[in-house]
Amino acid sequence: MILQAKHCRTVLITGLACGLSACATTAPDPKPPSYLADERAAIAGAPHAILGDVCVVRDVTGSGDHILRKQTQDITQAALASLSSRLQGVGVSLAKTAVPTACAGLERVGIPPRVAETWNADVSTLDDQVFTTDANLPAADAQLNRRLVAAVSSAIDDAEGGYKRRALDISDDDRAALREQAESDVLWVLAIIGIDVSAAKGFLSGGSDGPEDCDRIRDSFERRECERDAEQALQNADRFSYTLALVDLSTYEMVWFNNTNNVPGPPYEPSNFGAEWAQRVVSPFYQ
């Protein structure tokens, strides 16, 4: 999938965002509030778990897009901490919280799993399509998490008709493994994808002058205007998307989801995934 973004910028890896969080911008139209109330009552007192996948991708000119390891880890920690705190704030006890993989959706859009430690660091190609956040994580568990995220994404893709339970396409073997991994039948599945656009890509695709072009302007006022416009174009190019889905592992159904795409702003800033974000992402299931 290729989507046209602001300033006629084509984001070649936006398909990844759609792979991890389906390309809708909101949860489905709600049925009467009794649906949410009934589902909240059904899981009241039960321990919950959080599993997920987070990814920050550096979008550069040419075909050199790659995962930013440090930035991915930073927002993983921030999002997991704030989401855990929010759920605990409404009385939820958590049996397990983990984001065992990063960028598991790369495989779905055919992007080789290249990774750099941070900006301007050497880029290497991973041996495996699934980038794990824990070097000691068994390969089978990483693949299981990838299939979980894919199943939730497919269920959201097919979501129609307001809030209702939706069956997940999960094999019998995976069902047993997921219940063991989650240590709970109440599972929150979190997926975040951030697109960090390089300065060169932002300027070229945004139709703005780059820094070297601004330097050629002799008039100091016009040069500052050029620099401000260039910086704004770059800020407008960065985006992040997120999905949170509630899954009942006793029936392997998705109970509820909240999905938001193409939020403008730097996807590598942990402050974007703090308490305010956590309150939004669980709403209206928990107000």
Q: Using one digit for the tens of pLDDT, what is the confidence trace for 28-64?
A: 554 556 999 999 999 999 999 999 999 999 888 777 8
22 domain residue, yes or no:
yes
Residue 158 inside a domain? The answer is: yes
> Is residue 226 in a domain?
no
**Cβ contacts of 163 within 8 Å, gap of 6 or more:** 27, 28, 30, 31, 35, 36, 256
User: Is there a domain that residue 130 lies in?
Assistant: yes
Q: What is the domain count for the chain?
A: 1
Q: What pTM did the predictor assign?
A: 0.80
**Domain annotation covers residue 213:** no
Domain of 61 in residue numbering reads as 12-206+234-280
List of residues 6+ apart from 157 with CB closer than 8 A: 22
pLDDT score for 28: 52
SS3 238: coil
Is residue 223 one of the residues assigned to a domain?
no
Domain annotation covers residue 52: yes
Q: pLDDT digits over 230-268, tens only?
A: 665 555 578 899 999 999 999 999 999 999 998 988 999
User: At residue 139, does pLDDT exceed 60?
Assistant: yes
Domain-located, residue 287: no
pLDDT score recorded for residue 218:
63
How far is it, in rounded angstroms, from Cα 246 to Cα 256?
5
| Of the listed ranges 6-15, 210-219, 261-270, the one predicted with least confidence | 6-15
Whether 148 has a pLDDT exceeding 90, the answer reads yes
Contact between residue 154 and residue 167 where contact means Cβ atoms under 8 Å apart: no
